Amino acid sequence: MNSRILKLFASLLIVFSACNESNITDMGSSIQPPGDKISVTFDRFNINSEDYSVDFMYSRPDSFLLGTFSDNTYGTVHADILAQVEYPKNHVYPSHAKPDSILLVMYYKKFFGDQHAPMHVSVYEMNKKTFDYMKPYPSNLNPDEYVDKSDPSLLIGEKVFTAVDASGSNAIPYVIIKLNNDFLQRFSNVQSDTYSQDSKFFDFFKGMYITTDFGSASMLYVRQIDLEYYHSYTYTLKDITGQDSIVTVNSSVTFPANTWVRQVNRFLNPDKANIINQLNNQPEQVHHISSPANIYTRIQLPIKEMQQKIESEGSRVFINDAKLRVDINNLNKETFPLPIPSNVLLIKENSLERFFNKRELPADTCAIVGSYDRKINPDTEEIDYFYSFDISKLLAHEFKQAKENNLTLPDNINFLLVPIRLKLSSNNVIIDVSQQFLLSGVTICGGNHSKKPIKVNVVYSKF
């Protein structure tokens, strides 16, 4: 038969198989045409899994975390921000302009944790070096390489507040931190060519380091950061009588921390090792998938065993369906301490850094997006929540590459389960993938879980 006919039969077989998996092979034989031998087989493969401690991640965030949040399940996350600001290209201040004030304004979309928990935010001027726009920066960078916090003159502003104290409307709350007069005077004493090019401006002002030093119950989701410089100037105008009249104009210039310059959200997870020890001492094997840059899960796909089982007897093989299923452990959204990741990426471990550094898109042979789903369990009549990944093309690719290049597949290929953020086009096409940098967490069943182990179910046809 030609390949189109074979694929047609294979598609029919997998539809029929959905009714009764136990009769897949017999059904395949019952509809085969005379002279051809077609069999459809169902196999299930066990998966080994373990915790994966994330040291750092690379990202270009469009929003930021600021604060510290502690949770008994997923541990403590501390987040602070290092940011450049965009300058007004070729801007010239009026002559004799007088500085009035300079403010740091942080708009936040929402917060996580206790709205009444106090936060003490400190703002430092970066004095050692700044960022290269084209270079990726890890989320665990050392702020001491960018600012000397022992120099009191570099602490340019601070404030104690709670999330509920924020100014602004309920839709767009914001926090205002007035920066000190010394910084105001320095910022106003710009040379005429300071705003002419990047190198001159970033030599004048390298950026800010924004951090918190107490409080462990609240985290801001900062959507926008602006530096606002207020000044005034006067000019003389003749009135209708011909007399001179002095007019005062109050003005401001905004320096936004936006996508045209670099920002890095720094994350620390100081008790990560303790959390992993807690996982290892559970009666059932469970793992965390939590962000930002906290704990992922490593799984081992038994690729060699799968190839030997599926391609046995030298038959032609067509993989109709292959699903990796990862069950969520005891999902109860009302008691979950963190938001559950909507999307998880199954990615080859050796491709992780390259994929996100080069801003690649999902590919069936390397990185596969899964979203959590639910289904009624016929045995318990309860709803099971799980992540599902279609790895049929990945398996076909690995088998084909090994055969064409006369290679022996390794026993296992290591993959990571990574929480991600997706950007979609108007046509629902994925146009950007980044590691989740907001708070999220889910506990999943491991490969050795007695009731809901991680598994791969494969349906394939032999001709």
Whether the Cβ atoms of residue 291 and residue 311 lie closer than 8 Å to each other = no
Amino acid at 158: E
Whether the Cβ atoms of residue 200 and residue 123 lie closer than 8 Å to each other = no
**Confidence at residue 19, expressed as pLDDT on a 0 to 100 scale:** 41
**Confidence at residue 337, expressed as pLDDT on a 0 to 100 scale:** 74
Whether the Cβ atoms of residue 318 and residue 10 lie closer than 8 Å to each other = yes
Q: What distance in Å separates the CA atoms of residue 231 and residue 100, rounded to the nearest whole number?
A: 5
Residue 133: other Cβ atoms inside 10 A:
11
∠ CA 167-168-169 to the nearest 5 degrees?
135
Scan for tokens 């996350």, then name that residue. 77
CA-based nearest residue to 39, from 27, 49, 52, 54: 27
Scan for tokens 């034989």, then name that residue. 29
Q: What distance in Å separates the CA atoms of residue 372 and residue 444, rounded to the nearest whole number?
A: 11
Residue 147: phi and psi, rounded to 5, are -145, 140
Query: 3-class secondary structure for the chain?
Result: CCHHHHHHHHHHHHHHHCCCHHHHHHHHHHCCCCCCCCEEEEEEEECEEEEEECCCCECCCCCEEEEEEEECCCEEEEEEEEECCCCCCCCCCCCCCEEEEEEEEEEEEEEEECCCCCEEEEEEECCCCCCCCCCCCECCCCHHHCCCCCCHHHEEEEEEECHHHCECCCCCCEEEEECCHHHHHHHHCCCCCCCCCHHHHHHHCCCEEEEECCCCEEEEEEEEEEEEEEEEEEEEEECCCCCEEEEEEEEEEEEECCCCCCEEEEEECCCHHHHHHHHHCCCCCEEEEEECCCEEEEEEECHHHHHHHHCHHHCCEEEEEEEEEEEECCCCCCCCCCCCCCEEEEEEHHHHHHHHHCCCCCECCCEEEEEEEEEECCCCCCEEEEEEEECHHHHHHHHHHHHHCCCCCCCCEEEEEEEEEEEECCCCCEEEEEECCCCEEEEEECCCCCCCCCEEEEEEEEC
Residue 380: phi and psi, rounded to 5, are -105, -15
**Confidence at residue 314, expressed as pLDDT on a 0 to 100 scale:** 63
Q: What distance in Å separates the CA atoms of residue 224 and residue 186, rounded to the nearest whole number?
A: 24
Amino acid at 76: T
**Confidence at residue 330, expressed as pLDDT on a 0 to 100 scale:** 79
**Confidence at residue 334, expressed as pLDDT on a 0 to 100 scale:** 52
**Confidence at residue 170, expressed as pLDDT on a 0 to 100 scale:** 61
CA-based nearest residue to 423, from 435, 412, 431, 415: 431
Q: What distance in Å separates the CA atoms of residue 191 and residue 207, rounded to the nearest whole number?
A: 18
Q: Average pLDDT of each block of 10 consecutive residues along the chain (463 residues)?
A: 46 44 38 63 96 91 90 93 96 90 93 86 98 94 97 96 72 90 93 93 98 84 96 84 82 96 96 95 96 97 95 81 94 71 96 93 94 87 93 96 94 98 93 93 96 96 86
